[in-house]
Amino acid sequence: GDWDQKTFERLLLEWLVACDQPFQEVERPEFRRLLKYVHHRSHGLRVPSASTVQRKVIAMGTELEKELHSFFFAVSRHLETVYFVLIEF
């Protein structure tokens, strides 16, 4: 498909987290050479810095925490409803 910087960064963050890689891995010259070699596009490849990656991973975690909170709140509301229905019988 077409190149998308946001998709690249999301996939990079997923790889870092799934493989338990340090944030600084994105700054290793060997890693950057590999990415530049496989990136055959006319526009440049922008690999985010370790601090940017760290900030984005924390933001992903915060967003996931919010989603989980909403999910568990919804589940607890449903359980509460079921509980009250069962009590009435």
Lowest mean pLDDT among 6-15, 69-78, 79-88: 79-88
**pLDDT value of residue 87:** 84
Give this prediction's pTM.
0.54
Q: Is the pLDDT of residue 55 over 90?
A: yes
- The answer to whether 58 touches 68, Cβ cutoff 8 Å, is no
Domain boundaries, the chain: 5-88
What's residue 77's pLDDT?
A: 87
Tokens representing 60 are 């992903």
Burial status of residue 43 (CB atoms within 10 A of its CB: 0-12, 13-18, 19 or more): exposed
Q: How confident is the model at residue 42 (pLDDT cuts 50, 70, 90)?
A: low
Write down the mean pLDDT value for the chain: 88
Distance from the Cα of residue 82 to its chain's centroid: 34
